[in-house]
Structure 1
């Protein structure tokens, strides 16, 4: 049987050698006929640390590597420009004397 491959977006890369990939698929409701979107998160093995937050990646099913990891990273399809910086908060602006008249 062929292995399942999925394409999704990396939502977390904080773990060592592991990424969390969010895969969104659309399907039609069987009774109402409305198009629905479902999102599911998968833990995938990334031993080299190639993928980062926001990247679009392809993952493939493999033997269970741990309790949660049952997929491995095949390739990074599109890199995202994520800086990892926290946006400036109003408190930080007040402390630095932001608006002086």
Structure 2
């Protein structure tokens, strides 16, 4: 059976070698037909700690590494707009005030 691959957004990078990734999807309501946003939260193993909060990452299913961790990081697809842990917009505002 092939391993599942998914793309999601890193929502937390506070744990050592572990990231929390949210995979968003839209499902159609069976009765009303309206599209509803749903999400899946995955705990992902990041050995080199290369991803940061806000990054779009590609993950692959792996063997269970802990009670909750069953995914591994493949690559960072897109970096977030953050610079060194601070918000880019806040950095611009501080620079213009000086």
**Greater displacement, 10-19 / 78-87:** 78-87
Return the TM-score normalized by structure 1.
Answer: 0.80
Asked which structure has the greater CA Rg, the reply is 1
- Which of the pair is proportionally richer in strand? 2
Name the structure with the higher helix share. 2
The alignment's C-alpha RMSD in Å is 1.5
State the match for 2:21 in structure 1.
21
Deviates more, 1:75-84 or 1:20-29: 75-84
Aligned residues: 87
Runs of 4 or more above 2 Å deviation: 81-87
TM-score in terms of structure 2 length:
0.82
Q: What are the ranges of 5 or more consecutive residues in structure 1 without an aligned counterpart?
A: 88-101
Matched ranges for 1:64-79 at <5 A:
64-79=64-79
Q: Residues 1-101 of structure 1: matches in 2 within 5 Å?
A: 1-82=1-82, 83-85=84-86
Alpha-carbon shift at residue 32 of structure 1 (Å):
1.2
Residue-by-residue CA offset, 1:46-99 (whole Å, 9 max, x unaligned): 000110110000111111000010000011000113243487xxxxxxxxxxxx
